[in-house]
Structure 1
Amino acid sequence: MGRSGKIDAMYELARQQYAAIGVDTDDAIRRIGDVAISLHCWQGDDVGGFEGDAQSLGNGLAVTGNYPGRARTPDELRQDLQMAYSLIPGNHRLNLHAMYGEFDTPVDRDAIDVQHFQGWIQWAVDQGVPLDFNPSFFSHPHAADGFTLAHSDPGIRQFWIDHGIACRKIAAAMGAAQGSPCIDNFWVPDGFKDTPADRKTPRERLAASLDEIFSGSLPPTHTIDAVECKLFGIGSESCVVGSHEFYLGYAISRNQMLCLDAGHFHPTEVISDKISSVLMYVPELLLHVSRGVRWDSDHVVTFTDELQAIMQEIVRGGFLDRVHIGLDFFDASINRVAAWTIGTRNALKALLAALLEPTEQLQQLEREGDFTARLALMEEQKMMPLGAVWDHYCQVSDVPAGRQWLDVVRQYEQDVLKLRSDASVPA
């Protein structure tokens, strides 16, 4: 029996085992096939972008490592993304930062326009990969002191307001072209390294700046605005203006989408417990699935308890139609295509595991007060043959099952990535 036949046989046994507890594996595979995860472009080039003269990253962001083969041009980044998509089951999206436009001549961020993203828009339509978008409020001289939309200088503040307005128009054009709303997510790094004497005034300025940016009405069928919080960053250890409480209040009061990043909270704080609470008060939720390690918020996603808990909350709450899943990590110490592949496949594995739970049975036991059986079945669920269903899903999706994808990445590294050199960036 060949590998394909073994996967089929293992899946049939798994299907029967899940059916015995009332779970339809075919239905779980159908449902996960409808979920699109938004991969993040910045893993492919270490958050460099394509604006020309490189700015120091800063503003709470740092990338470590110098693994060979980072993308140096939009075409190289798109090539690497296509390789990653070919190794991930399902049809997914791309999350693009404003600094990744294609600029033939230097353009400052307050003047970027749809024309600078036509290459991405056309690629997205051709590849069937819908785009999401982000303004870039970092790595710029006007962010050198750690403040943008909450800056005390009205001129600098207006520069970043104009950037945000331009980004909303670009996102709307992307959504119109692809026939799917482009989520435009606002993360602002503004904050203090040491204890501030006035937290109130910067937060008032940030709220006023955001209100000005969002004052223009755009079709929700084209773009949806989201706002993202953070606890602290490098250089803003004592206070981030856009904290969780600030943006939770802002999103609720403006009926706006909130973004929760799994790495943006205290090291012992998790976002899985926030999902059902937040969705009582905001219309939709954007997740940046990441992995915080102490003070670093953006490690490659692994199959952790918290990742599984996030996906369980989405499925158990019936939130698949109100939660948008994106990734956010950057690691230059390992193969970047492998990082995308590992992180996205793990997110999907955790989602599949949640879809394979006997959710109604567990919730019925809870309603009946039978917490003993609830705990027992939750623990038994951990030994169910998830891997066999995952391999079958990969096989029917025509992507490598198991660890076979790693051989493809290694060959791609030999044929493509190792031929790149930062000293010889193609014109």
Structure 2
Amino acid sequence: MTTQLEQAWELAKQRFAAVGIDVEEALRQLDRLPVSIHCWQGDDVSGFENPEGSLTGGIQATGNYPGKARNASELRADLEQAMRLIPGPKRLNLHAIYLESDTPVSRDQIKPEHFKNWVEWAKANQLGLDFSPSCFSHPLSADGFTLSHPDDSIRQFWIDHCKASRRVSAYFGEQLGTPSVMNIWIPDGMKDITVDRLAPRQRLLAALDEVISEKLDPAHHIDAVESKLFGIGAESYTVGSNEFYMGYATSRHTVCAAVAAARQPSGSLGQRSRGATG
């Protein structure tokens, strides 16, 4: 570091020390804490299921930045370069739409074999893998509902997708020797004020219970649920609110995830973390 940077660093350490924080120890702890990098940062959530399809679900990404990865091999190469520049231990979070297959695969039919190349790559790079079902950018999510959908057949499709995703996640953990955290995020919500907030949440509750009904080895797979507070087209009401998922995670003994990268007009990540930890 330059002299100016070193001086600024020493001043910063003093400020933190004044409130009881040992900065050097905090950095040592960070060096032991792996960060799971989102795969979609490499292509703005296009994925490889249908790269030309539209991005939906209220996700605030354009999907069209120049030079983005066009296939899994390019994405893996980009990730390797990024990881060379990012300090500390790392993992990778994969979405279901980043599967590799020579033929189209329905999302409720994804299998571990569709992610074999990712596992071999993770082994070669000594990485753990996490997973997420992709409950967006699909004809059956076009009206803004998935696991809380009022149509039984559509809701069952998304339940089956999440069930299949859990098996993929368990495969990751078994192959790599570190549990895969599978985070369920859904876009379900409404732009306008609804007269019925309860029924969609009742359907979501039952759907999630069915999703996690298959017992999997916690040494391989960990269930997580993530709230959605805001999205384009879902400004008024989200089915999977922070309060809903905190209650669900507490009663079902899952992990309750908190998103740090999205716009949260009703409370910061720090505020919600304090609420979860008491």
> Shared fold (TM-score greater than 0.5)?
yes
Show the 5 A alignment for 1:106-121: 106-121=104-119
Three-state SS of the structure 1 residue aligned to 2:184 is strand
User: Alignment RMSD, CA only?
Assistant: 2.8
Does the CA-based 8 Å contact 1:230-1:265 persist in structure 2?
Answer: no
**Which residue does the alignment assign to 1:169?**
167
Relative to structure 1, the CA distance from residue 163 to residue 15 in structure 2 (aligned partners, 3 Å threshold; closer, same or farther) is: closer
CA offset at residue 273 of structure 1? 2.3
Three-state SS of the structure 2 residue aligned to 1:86 is helix
Relative to structure 1, the CA distance from residue 25 to residue 152 in structure 2 (aligned partners, 3 Å threshold; closer, same or farther) is: closer
* Separation in structure 2 between the aligned mates of residue 137 and residue 236 of structure 1, nearest angstrom: 15
Does the CA-based 8 Å contact 1:229-1:264 persist in structure 2?
Answer: no
* Separation in structure 1 between the aligned mates of residue 11 and residue 262 of structure 2, nearest angstrom: 41
- Structure number with larger C-alpha Rg: 1
Aligned residues: 278
* Separation in structure 2 between the aligned mates of residue 78 and residue 19 of structure 1, nearest angstrom: 40
**Which residue does the alignment assign to 2:127?**
129
Partner AA of 1:143 in structure 2: S
* Separation in structure 2 between the aligned mates of residue 273 and residue 77 of structure 1, nearest angstrom: 34
The percentage of counterpart residues that share the same residue type is 51
**Which residue does the alignment assign to 2:234?**
236
**Which residue does the alignment assign to 2:219?**
221
Show the 5 A alignment for 1:122-201: 122-201=120-199
Relative to structure 1, the CA distance from residue 12 to residue 73 in structure 2 (aligned partners, 3 Å threshold; closer, same or farther) is: same
**Which residue does the alignment assign to 1:269?**
267
* Separation in structure 1 between the aligned mates of residue 171 and residue 28 of structure 2, nearest angstrom: 31
**Residue 202 (str. 1) matches residue 200 (str. 2):** yes
1:44 pairs with 39, 42, 45, which one? 42
**Which residue does the alignment assign to 1:356?**
none
Does the CA-based 8 Å contact 2:149-2:200 persist in structure 1?
Answer: yes
CA offset at residue 130 of structure 1? 0.8
Relative to structure 1, the CA distance from residue 104 to residue 5 in structure 2 (aligned partners, 3 Å threshold; closer, same or farther) is: farther
Relative to structure 1, the CA distance from residue 270 to residue 4 in structure 2 (aligned partners, 3 Å threshold; closer, same or farther) is: closer
CA offset at residue 266 of structure 1? 4.3
* TM-score normalised by the chain length of structure 1: 0.60
Does the CA-based 8 Å contact 2:245-2:256 persist in structure 1?
Answer: yes
* Separation in structure 2 between the aligned mates of residue 66 and residue 54 of structure 1, nearest angstrom: 10
* Separation in structure 1 between the aligned mates of residue 141 and residue 11 of structure 2, nearest angstrom: 57
* TM-score normalised by the chain length of structure 2: 0.90
Three-state SS of the structure 1 residue aligned to 2:122 is helix
Relative to structure 1, the CA distance from residue 106 to residue 242 in structure 2 (aligned partners, 3 Å threshold; closer, same or farther) is: same
CA offset at residue 22 of structure 1? 8.6
Relative to structure 1, the CA distance from residue 127 to residue 106 in structure 2 (aligned partners, 3 Å threshold; closer, same or farther) is: same
Does the CA-based 8 Å contact 1:40-1:94 persist in structure 2?
Answer: yes
* Separation in structure 1 between the aligned mates of residue 58 and residue 106 of structure 2, nearest angstrom: 21
* Separation in structure 2 between the aligned mates of residue 161 and residue 95 of structure 1, nearest angstrom: 20
* Separation in structure 1 between the aligned mates of residue 21 and residue 150 of structure 2, nearest angstrom: 57
CA offset at residue 261 of structure 1? 1.2
Show the 5 A alignment for 1:304-315: none
Unpaired runs of at least 5, structure 2: none
Partner AA of 1:176 in structure 2: E
Does the CA-based 8 Å contact 1:36-1:93 persist in structure 2?
Answer: yes
Relative to structure 1, the CA distance from residue 256 to residue 115 in structure 2 (aligned partners, 3 Å threshold; closer, same or farther) is: same
Partner AA of 2:80 in structure 1: Q
* Separation in structure 2 between the aligned mates of residue 24 and residue 269 of structure 1, nearest angstrom: 28
Does the CA-based 8 Å contact 2:44-2:64 persist in structure 1?
Answer: no
Does the CA-based 8 Å contact 1:50-1:101 persist in structure 2?
Answer: yes
Tell me the alpha carbon deviations over residues 12-38 of structure 1, each in whole angstroms, 9 at most, x when there is no partner. 999999999997666444322101111
Three-state SS of the structure 2 residue aligned to 1:227 is strand
**Which residue does the alignment assign to 1:211?**
209
Partner AA of 2:232 in structure 1: I
Unpaired runs of at least 5, structure 1: 281-427
Relative to structure 1, the CA distance from residue 128 to residue 226 in structure 2 (aligned partners, 3 Å threshold; closer, same or farther) is: same
CA offset at residue 92 of structure 1? 0.5
**Which residue does the alignment assign to 2:84?**
86
